[in-house]
Amino acid sequence: MLTAILSLLAMGTAVLAIRGEYQPTRTHVYIFKPLTTFLIILIALQGSTPAAPAYKWLIVAGLILCLAGDVFLMLPPRYFIMGLGSFLAGHWFYIAAFSVGGTIFSWWLLPLLLYGGVIYALLHPHLGKMRGPVIAYIVTILLMAWQALGRWSTVTTTPALLAAVGAVLFVISDSLLALDRFRQQFKLARLLVLTTYWSAQWLIALSVAW
C-alpha cells in the first residue's frame, strides 16, 4: 500500500518537475526534480530481499548517487561533469547489485555494443574534451544494462524483469540526454529524458520493493 502511495506521489512530482522544465523560471524544477528521485528512494527502502539483502542496499546507494546527479545537473553547466560522475558511480552500484551471486555473461552484450557504437558515432564529432568521460559513461551504462538483462535471462522473476526494463530505459534516457546536449537540441528532449529516466528508476526501485 505504501509503495503504491509513494509511486503516485512520485508520478505527481515528476509531472510538476517536467512542467517546470518548460516554464520561464525553474523553481518547480529545483523543488520537484530531487523530490521525485527521493520518493523513488523511499520506494526501494520499503523492499525486503532476505535471499540477497546486499541487493537492496546497493540499489539504494545507486539511487542516492543518482539523486546527487540530479542536483548537479540542475546547476550551471560547469557542474555537468560532477553530475556525470555521480551517475557513473551510481551505475557501478547498480552493476554490483545486478551481479549479486556472480557476474552473468549473456548474448545481450552484442546488441548493446551495436547500440552503443551507433550512439557514440553520432556523438563523436561533437564531444571535444568530453570524449573520455562520455566513453567511460557509455561503457558503464551498457555494462549495467548487460548485467540486468543477463540476470533476468537467468533468474526470470518479476523483480529481475522490472530491473532489466528499468536498465534499458536508463540507457534510452541517457542516449536522448547526450544527443540533446552534444549533437542537436530538440524541444521534446526534457520531456522524453525525464519520463524515461524516472520510469527507469521507479522500475529499478520496484525490483526491490516487489
Cell of 7: 509511486
- Provide the strand spans (E) within 32-95: none
Angle at which helices 158-178 and 109-123 pack, to 10 degrees?
20
- pLDDT for the residue 39: 97
- pLDDT for the residue 122: 95
Select from 8, 58, 68 the least CA-distant residue to 37. 68
- pLDDT for the residue 117: 96
Which residue range is the domain that position 161 belongs to?
2-209
- pLDDT for the residue 50: 60
- pLDDT for the residue 156: 83
- pLDDT for the residue 167: 97
The per-residue pLDDT for range 28-53, each reduced to its tens digit, is 999 999 999 999 999 999 876 665 78
- pLDDT for the residue 80: 86
Q: Are 207 and 169 in contact (CB under 8 A)?
A: no
- pLDDT for the residue 109: 92
Q: What is the DSSP string of 110-137?
A: HHHHHHHHHHHHHHGGG-GGGHHHHHHH
Q: What is the separation, in whole angstroms, between the first and last Cα of the chain? A: 11
Q: pLDDT tens for the chain, 210 residues: list them.
A: 889 999 999 999 999 999 999 998 889 999 999 999 999 999 999 876 665 789 999 999 999 999 999 999 888 888 888 998 999 999 999 999 999 877 778 889 999 999 999 999 999 999 988 899 999 999 999 999 999 999 999 988 999 999 999 999 999 999 999 999 999 888 899 999 999 999 999 999 999 987
Residues 6+ apart with CB under 8 A from 152: 160, 161, 163, 164
How many C-beta atoms lie closer than 10 Å to residue 39's C-beta? 24
Q: How many domains does the chain have?
A: 1
- pLDDT for the residue 49: 67
Residues 6+ apart with CB under 8 A from 184: none
